[in-house]
Amino acid sequence: MFRELREKLPATFLDRSKVLNFAAEMSSRVAAGKKEYPAAYQFDPLEEAMQECLDIGVYSMIEYYRIKRLKEKLDGLASKES
């Protein structure tokens, strides 16, 4: 996985420690999630997947506008320098 990501991203963007830190965070969250539910907990995986898609969509929209606003701010700074 690490090699595939390095090929797709700029060399300075990603290094092994960032990938390991991200994996550790994911593992920590999975472990925390397992503690929240009883061992016999059952759910509808398709319903859960649909809800996750909605959550991802909302988060993506929020991030889109945050990035757009950041770009506008950065573009404004660049125009002041020229």
Question: Does 38 share its domain with 51?
Answer: no
Question: Does 36 share its domain with 49?
Answer: no
Model pTM greater than 0.75? no
Quote the number of domains for the chain: 2
pLDDT average, residue stretch 39-63: 90
Amino acid letter for position 56:
I
Question: Does 32 share its domain with 54?
Answer: no
CA gap 17, 23 in Å, rounded: 10
**Is 70 exceeded by the pLDDT of residue 2?**
no
Q: CB–CB of 59/41 below 8 Å?
A: no
Domain ranges, residue 29? 1-42
**Is 70 exceeded by the pLDDT of residue 9?**
no
Question: Does 30 share its domain with 19?
Answer: yes
Write the pLDDT tens digit of every residue in 27-45.
998 888 778 777 787 888 8
Question: Does 48 share its domain with 78?
Answer: yes
